[in-house]
């Protein structure tokens, strides 16, 4: 094994301006800033159906007395059960830590969780939200109404939502008007047409119309089963039209949300929200504080001495008891073989390389056991992740290996994404070397890594983080489809294309799940790309934090409304 390094210095970034209460800047640029952005590779909004689209959809079932398909009783029942009053203790302040600063007071100009989920963005609501609670198996992107009362699917490209107008816009000092269909249309249109990364989520929406009796109608370019994921994303905030037009996010005191929290304080590295005591389901907590702590050791120290109540564990070897393990499909260490040139244009050699790799060893040695195998894309349901009995049948490093007739040199292109990725690459290179491959590990800087992925002559295998995405279609169409903009493996696979197109427009969850499993099996057999180590996020929280059943999928945050402190 040979290791080369070209232009491999780690890029660092600093804040461009001094922090103020009105404009905060990030101290560290996110990985996505130097890796291909979702905006460049969004799925085409005009993907043609290969067959008549199924008119059933993710969770709904048809009403017996209506030609329409409506939001299902089962989900309504689940929502009511989860929102039922519990015998929790009221009062107290929850103290949370954010890793980053946010860039703007405008929710639609913020792309990271620092504002939407771990900051003052929780004062805002969305049309839908992701379900959370003790009965939700993670990972899950099951959705339910947040600002809507119900919704109907008129056809595969037309959806009607009834808006709950009882919710009130609230600033830090006063109540304003009730939320309206006008506000919802304004908010969606603003995100769709704004020059922002957030606009990519709504690529499937053709138009939004206001209908009588507090309804809005969403019209799609083509059927897209990830519409609900886009609407429920924690960054898809709803804003007051009049408030935005009058105040333009200049003064924090004028920020108006419709949720159960309102802004209380905003300083350089600290903010807080307080309970409005006016929402239909009033939170137990009096307030939530957000402390911006970019340094990992500072966050650990703050948790250790009780200055924060919830801690995202950065180092598994730290002496912190793990309370919760969060599966995070779509994040982790991915391997991609270039099928456009030898040797991995040969199906047999590609399968042989895949079979000799041991994901369990990678997970154990590089990820401290805190990872799992997947095919690399974000999932809506836990059943979309291949079970061990499925994927392990395609990896057999401990069986008698078939050795190559001659040594085959291969160029593995990587970049500096952290010690877990570096160790993973080294393990894979050693495993491939055992059967006769001669790996050359070529380190390039992150920007060069992006360029290399667009030139099929420059690499045999890519190893590193996967393409940034927030939904299943946001990955499988640009990355796995033969005509995808980011098909870096250069494969041409008609069968896979047909499966991708079918699931992308399939609203009926059981049928879509069946297609996803077919895609998983096909990808394992073809060995274009896979993720031997998919990230698990480790969490710890204080013993007095009760009813904590978080679902952090899609930047979700409404679980904070259900917790209480037993102090």
Spell out the per-residue pLDDT of the chain, length 567, in tens.
Answer: 767 654 443 333 233 322 233 333 332 223 223 223 333 333 333 333 333 333 333 333 333 333 334 444 333 334 444 444 567 999 999 999 999 999 899 999 998 899 999 999 999 999 999 999 999 999 999 999 999 999 999 999 999 999 999 999 999 999 999 999 999 999 999 999 998 888 889 999 999 999 999 999 999 999 999 999 999 999 999 999 999 999 988 899 999 999 999 999 999 899 999 999 987 789 999 999 999 999 999 999 999 999 999 999 999 888 899 999 999 999 999 999 999 999 999 999 999 999 999 999 999 999 999 999 999 999 999 999 999 999 999 998 767 677 899 999 999 999 999 999 999 999 999 999 999 999 999 999 988 887 776 655 678 999 999 999 999 999 999 999 999 999 999 999 999 999 999 999 999 999 999 999 999 999 999 999 999 999 999 999 999 999 999 999 999 999 999 999 999
Side by side, the strands of the sheet bearing 287-292 are 93-98, 287-292, 270-275, 261-266
Distance of CA 377 to the CA centre of its chain: 10
Q: Which residues contact 393 (CB under 8 A, 6 or more apart)?
A: none
Q: How far apart are CA 364 and CA 372, in angstroms?
A: 10
CB-based contacts of 479: which residues, under 8 Å, 6+ apart?
A: 41, 376, 377, 466, 467, 469, 486, 487, 488, 529
Return the beta strands (E) in 71-142 as ranges.
Answer: 93-98, 128-130
pLDDT the model gives residue 196? 80
CA distance 460 to 410: 6
A 10 A CB-CB count for 495 gives 11
Angle 561-563-567 (CA atoms, 0-180°, nearest 5)? 135
Burial of 19 (0-12, 13-18, 19+ CB in 10 A): middle
Please state the φ and ψ torsions of residue 553, each to the nearest 5 degrees. Answer: -60, 140
Q: Can you say how many angstroms the Cα of residue 215 is from the centroid of all Cα atoms in its chain?
A: 29
Task: For the chain, list the domains and their CATH numbers.
Answer: 31-43+67-309+542-565 (3.40.190.10), 327-537 (3.10.105.10)
Instruction: Supply the angle between the helices 509-526 and 494-504 in degrees, to the nearest 10.
Output: 160
**DSSP 8-state symbol, 480:** I
Q: Are 391 and 524 in contact (CB under 8 A)?
A: yes
- pLDDT (0 to 100) of residue 281: 82
Q: How many residues does the chain have?
A: 567
Instruction: Supply the pTM of this predicted model.
Output: 0.85
Element (H, E) at 373: strand 371-374
Type and span of the H or E element at 313: strand 310-313
Strand partners, 310: 541
Q: What is the pLDDT of residue 508?
A: 96
Q: How many CB atoms sit inside 10 A of residue 4's CB?
A: 12
Could you give the CA distance from residue 209 to residue 189 in angstroms, rounded to a whole number? 10
Radius of gyration of the chain from its Cα atoms, rounded to whole angstroms? 24
Answer for the pair 370, 357: CB distance below 8 angstroms, yes or no: no
Residue 97: name the closest of 119, 77, 78 by CA: 119
pLDDT in the model for residue 60? 39
What is the model's pLDDT at position 240?
Answer: 98
DSSP characters for 520-535?
HHHHHHH-SEEEEEEE
Q: Comparing C-alpha atoms, which of 437, 433, 495, 441 is closest to residue 463?
A: 441
Q: Please provide the DSSP assignment of 141-187 as one string.
A: --EEESSEEEEEEEETTEEEEEE-TT-EEE-SS-EEEEP-HHHHHHH
What confidence score (pLDDT) does residue 23 get? 37
Instruction: Spell out the residues 6+ positions from residue 334 whose beta carbon is closer than 8 angstroms to its own.
Output: 376, 462, 463, 464, 465, 466, 529, 530, 531
């Amino acid at each position: 094994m040979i290791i080369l390094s070209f232009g491999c210095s780690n890029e660092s970034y600093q804040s461009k301006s001094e922090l103020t209460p009105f404009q905060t800047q990030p101290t560290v640029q996110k990985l996505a800033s130097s890796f291909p952005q979702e905006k460049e590779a969004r799925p085409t909004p005009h993907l043609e159906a290969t067959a008549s689209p199924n008119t059933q959809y993710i969770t709904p079932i048809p009403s017996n007395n209506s030609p329409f398909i409506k939001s299902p009783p089962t989900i309504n029942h689940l929502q009511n059960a989860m929102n039922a009053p519990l015998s929790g203790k009221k009062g107290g302040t929850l103290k949370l830590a954010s890793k980053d600063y946010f860039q703007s007071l405008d929710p639609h100009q913020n792309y990271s969780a620092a504002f939407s989920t771990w900051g003052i963005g929780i004062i805002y609501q969305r049309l839908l939200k992701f379900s959370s609670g003790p009965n939700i198996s993670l990972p899950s992107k099951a959705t339910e109404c947040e600002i809507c009362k119900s919704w109907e699917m008129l056809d595969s490209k037309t959806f009607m939502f009834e808006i709950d107008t009882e919710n009130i816009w609230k600033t830090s000092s006063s109540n304003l008007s009730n939320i309206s269909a006008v506000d919802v249309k304004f908010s969606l249109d603003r995100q769709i047409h704004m020059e922002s990364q957030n606009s990519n989520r709504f690529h499937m929406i053709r138009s939004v119309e206001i209908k009588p009796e507090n309804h809005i109608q969403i019209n799609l370019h083509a059927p897209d089963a990830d519409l609900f994921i886009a609407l429920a994303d924690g960054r898809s905030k709803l804003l007051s039209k009049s408030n935005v037009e009058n105040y333009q996010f200049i003064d924090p005191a004028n920020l108006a949300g419709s949720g159960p929290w309102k802004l209380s304080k905003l300083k350089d590295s600290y903010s807080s929200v307080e309970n409005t005591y006016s929402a239909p389901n009033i939170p137990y907590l009096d307030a939530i504080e957000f402390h911006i702590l970019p340094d990992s050791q500072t966050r650990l120290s703050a948790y250790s001495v009780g200055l924060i109540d919830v801690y995202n564990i950065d180092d598994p070897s730290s002496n912190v008891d793990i309370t919760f393990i969060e599966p995070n499909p779509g994040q982790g260490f991915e391997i991609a073989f270039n099928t456009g040139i030898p040797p991995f244009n040969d199906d047999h050699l590609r399968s042989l390389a895949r079979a000799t790799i041991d994901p369990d060893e990678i997970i154990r040695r590089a990820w401290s056991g805190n990872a799992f195998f997947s095919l690399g894309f974000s999932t809506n349901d836990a059943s979309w992740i291949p079970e061990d009995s499925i994927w392990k049948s395609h990896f057999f490093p401990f069986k008698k290996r078939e050795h190559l007739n001659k040594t085959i040199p291969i160029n593995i292109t990587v970049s500096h994404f952290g010690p877990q990725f570096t160790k993973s690459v080294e393990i894979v290179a050693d495993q491939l070397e055992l059967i006769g491959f001669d790996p050359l590990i070529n380190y390039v800087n992150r920007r060069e890594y992006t360029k290399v992925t667009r030139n099929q002559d420059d690499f045999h295998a890519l190893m590193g983080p996967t393409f940034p995405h927030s939904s299943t279609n946001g990955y499988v169409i640009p990355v796995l489809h033969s005509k995808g903009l980011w098909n870096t493996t250069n494969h041409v696979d008609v069968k896979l294309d047909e499966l991708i197109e079918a699931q992308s427009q399939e609203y009926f969850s059981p049928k879509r799940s069946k297609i996803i499993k077919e895609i998983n099996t096909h990808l394992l057999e073809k060995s274009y790309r896979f993720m031997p180590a998919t990230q698990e996020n480790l969490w710890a929280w204080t013993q007095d934090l009760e009813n904590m059943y978080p679902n952090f999928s899609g930047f979700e945050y409404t679980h904070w409304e259900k917790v209480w402190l037993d102090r």
